Structure 1
């Protein structure tokens, strides 16, 4: 038997393959949008993919379960509570998949969602591992507030938090201590709030160190779980439904995206629809020297997918710009990871821009901070830990587009985050939206000096 883990660092997502070496068969758990790594793994071992298990309809990424089933003939297993709209076999408490000496059993573990399951793996009748989806993470548990407006089953965060309390204690913590824990996410995901950077753990280790498994009343647990959860990106409800329906094939879908001619002068820029946002993924320094109107500087480095799906709405068309065709192809694939590839009106290499970011004088700012309106675009949990500027206006990046009207324009604006990525996005968005009503400066990496 072999267990293979893949990590998509951009989305902090873990997916898995369980290989029966004797039977030459593979079962996949929570696969990512691009199925090629799973095909390569099966080919490497001379094995056939026979099953795909979805622990729940994911909110933060798009799964390739339907495509894999159509290509390989594998059966998709998912809880009956999902009411999946693709061919599948229900997989709930008491249901098993047996392959050689391997037995995979479903455990209904509601809490993150009403339809969440965990998958217990036994080899030669010994419990070896538990694939916990978004129920139990390393150091944390799944957030319970994503299904109040998504999926076929709506549930309040309070009710799901109560269900999480019992799923953790009665279903997972009771497993043997040496059972390996394989979650669907690691540190950096928005599906939890305080995950470890570790890729796996054991039930015994989690009993000792995971806050969500410590002794607490139901009421105490619910209060702790609901406190300080991160924001919910706009694309999350959309992805829940897309995963419940099944996404189109990855390669076929990204090949449909039009990589158009280079934008190198005013004539080529004029062919763009001025009503559509241009997501410009070039480095901030390059962007500031010259960019197109109605642009947002969302750099390739960092959580590109998360912020794209937090600023651009599901179904909203946009342009994608980059420094090379190679970069564009990579960004299109990353856009597809959240199911937004069909929203790309066209993609362009950008070597031109008639708009420029205002030059920022750091010394003047340090000496005369009262002459600026300072916008802090970090998340509320970060602001809670301390503000570099006591008089700043806090508007998280995910909310800037909708809250521009709250920002006074009688002074120049200085935008900051924790390191420069989010402030580049927010300052460019504000410059485009305010359209000259106020000068907008990006503090960028200089925030570290404060």
Structure 2
């Protein structure tokens, strides 16, 4: 049996490859759209991608299942469970609870495990040459290490109305009737790790076991004692703000992500070509460090620095329907890598790249020190942190609006009034401020964010 875990640290997302060396077949679970990594690994292991599947209609990234199946000719296997509102809108072999299929000598059993989403399924894998006991359980967003999938995303990001309560009830039943009936030694491999917004307390280690979660997970005592109300109350409390681009991802994954196919080389643009595109509404994604951008911010740009959160920030602030995009990158190689990361959040319309800002119109956008905040009388103080961070402490009078919700909430912000943006330490607010500046708002930032402001307040009292 061959096994490989692929992990995207930005979106804290895991996909998996399972193979049978005897027959040369392999299965990929929950692939992302940049499928080259799976093709390369399969070729290196002398395997053929014969089956592709996913655990549910994802909300936090654009799925690569359709892309990978199209390019390899593999069977595309999709859940047909759940209600009529959440059925896949594109062709694939339908899966139901109790179905089994073989990948060489590996037996894969489908289990319907609703709760996070109505159509959610998990895959219980048995390596048949070694016996009839299942060895691995691929749980998607059902069970994580130390946590379980949140049931409120359909409400928070996809237009649902109180679906969280039914989801919590389904999650309770799935844990009781599906997960806890398995042997303790079964390995659990989830679709996300620490940092994902698909749960509130995901563990950092890659996998767990049924027995470990039975003994130590926060939810286990509630489920084993039958306390469904206590379970529901705890599960629904304190969930992080859901970025609203999750709704777009959910609908695109339901309808079927566009197949990228053979992608052409990304062209390098001249200054004149870029200026022409900016004049037509194209947006420049400035991937330099925030301090460099703030010193001379190109007009018509948004600052999304190269980092472990590039995909997340891009999903937060950019929408494919709003504009075409050009990358400001160090070179062609970096531009291509970033372009592929943007595919993760459905931003396919990158039309070129540049490597410097010489010849472009720029403005200074340096933050001010916290002690200068009283000089900004009449400004709206906008806290772009998570609500849980805001509740733990905030600047008096500040309005909380998570950065991941800004593109959908612009009508709640005043034009013609200064907006002072801040986050915890200055990174998120730099991206948010550049986006608001792009949209025509009068924006300034607090250097060092809430941490610096709080320290300045303490220092002033000493």
Superposition TM-score tier, normalisation by shorter sequence: 0.7 to 0.9
Q: Secondary structure at the match of 1:84?
A: coil
Q: Deviation of residue 413 (structure 1)?
A: 4.9
Instruction: Please give the alpha-carbon distance, in whole angstroms, between the structure 2 residues aligned to 1:30 and 1:164.
Output: 20
Partner of 1:174: 181
In the other structure, the counterpart of 1:97 is 101
Cα distance, 1:361–1:57 mapped onto 2, change above 3 Å: closer
Equivalent in the alignment of 1:161: 168
Deviations 1:348-383 (A, max 9, x none): 334144332344453743887879754321110111
| Shift in Å, 1:42 | 1.7
- Residue 231 of structure 1 is matched in structure 2 by 241
3-state DSSP of counterpart to 1:338:
coil
Structure 1: 5+ residue stretches without partners: none
Structure 2 gap segments, 5+ residues each: 456-462
Is the aligned partner of 1:88 residue 2:88?
no
Task: Tell me the alpha carbon deviations over residues 8-52 of structure 1, each in whole angstroms, 9 at most, x when there is no partner.
Answer: 111111011112122222111111111122122222222222211
TM-score for both structures, normalised by structure 1: 0.87
1:397 aligns with 2:403: yes
2:58 is equivalent to residue 58 of structure 1 = yes
- Deviation of the 1:296 alpha carbon: 1.9
In structure 2, relative to structure 1, the CA distance for the partners of 1:426 and 1:152 (3 Å cut) is: closer
Aligned length: 441
Measure the CA separation in 1 of the matches of 2:159 and 2:71.
Answer: 27
1:290 — aligned with what?
296
State the match for 1:112 in structure 2. Answer: 116
Q: 2:143 aligns with which of 95, 119, 136?
A: 136
Q: Tell me the residue number matched to 2:41.
A: 41
Relative to 1, partners in 2 of residues 1:391 and 1:248: Cα closer, same or farther, differing over 3 Å?
closer
Distance 2:286 2:78 in 1: 38
CA distance in 1, matches of 2:126, 2:160: 31
Distance change in 2, residues 1:155/1:58 (3 Å): farther
Which structure 2 residues correspond to residues 157-306 of structure 1 after superposition, within 5 A?
157-215=164-222, 217-250=227-260, 252-253=262-263, 255=264, 259-263=267-271, 269=275, 271-273=277-279, 275-306=281-312
Residue 365 of structure 1 is matched in structure 2 by: 372
Deviation per CA, 1:330-363: give whole Å up to 9, x if none. 2211111122213x35543341443323444537
SS at 1:127 equivalent: coil
Residue of structure 2 in register with 1:309 after alignment:
315
> What do you get for the CA RMSD once the two structures are aligned?
3.0
Once residues 323 and 151 of structure 2 are traced to their aligned partners in structure 1, the CA distance between those partners, rounded to angstroms, is: 30
Residue 326 (1) aligns with residue 330 (2): no
The residue matched to 1:431 in structure 2 has which SS?
Answer: helix
